Amino acid sequence: MDSLQLKRTTLSLIASRIPEDQIQSLRMAFTKMDKNGDGSLTFEELKQGMTEIQDIHLTESELLDAMSVIDSNQNGLIDYTEFIAACLQSYNYLQESHLRSAFAYFD
């Protein structure tokens, strides 16, 4: 497992263990972007969702790059856990207790 895969896997594990009440706003954002309600975001849903967020102006190329990083299982879709994992760093959810939990899981 390379370092990028380890990081993605660790963030996904942490995301899956964060209590829902701590990430409610992220769930609402994901649900709003998931137009067809299938539990995953296509590139088009992500692109549309990003246009609705003020102060975020990404090119299609930048969105494609982001999608390839966020899509940890490389199935062409972003599922809820991948979405939460991608948002973790910007929302400062990488608390020591979550990192210790992830480390203990891999140890």
Q: Taking the domain 25-106, which CATH number applies?
A: 1.10.238.10
Let me know the angle formed at the C-alpha of 17 by 82 and 28, rounded to the nearest 5 degrees. Answer: 55
pTM: 0.68
Whole-angstrom Cα distance, residue 83 to residue 86? Answer: 5
The closest of 37, 19, 23, 35 to 83, measured between CA atoms, is 23
Whole-angstrom Cα distance, residue 66 to residue 27? Answer: 19
The closest of 73, 72, 78 to 45, measured between CA atoms, is 78
Which of 9-18, 39-48, 87-96 is modeled with the greatest confidence?
A: 39-48
Listed by start position, the domains of the chain span 25-106
Q: Which residue has the higher pLDDT, 82 or 21?
A: 82
For residue range 66-107, list pLDDT tens digits in order.
Answer: 899 888 888 999 999 888 888 776 555 455 566 666 667 666
User: How much is the mean pLDDT over the chain?
Assistant: 80
Q: What amino acid is encoded at 15 in this protein? A: A
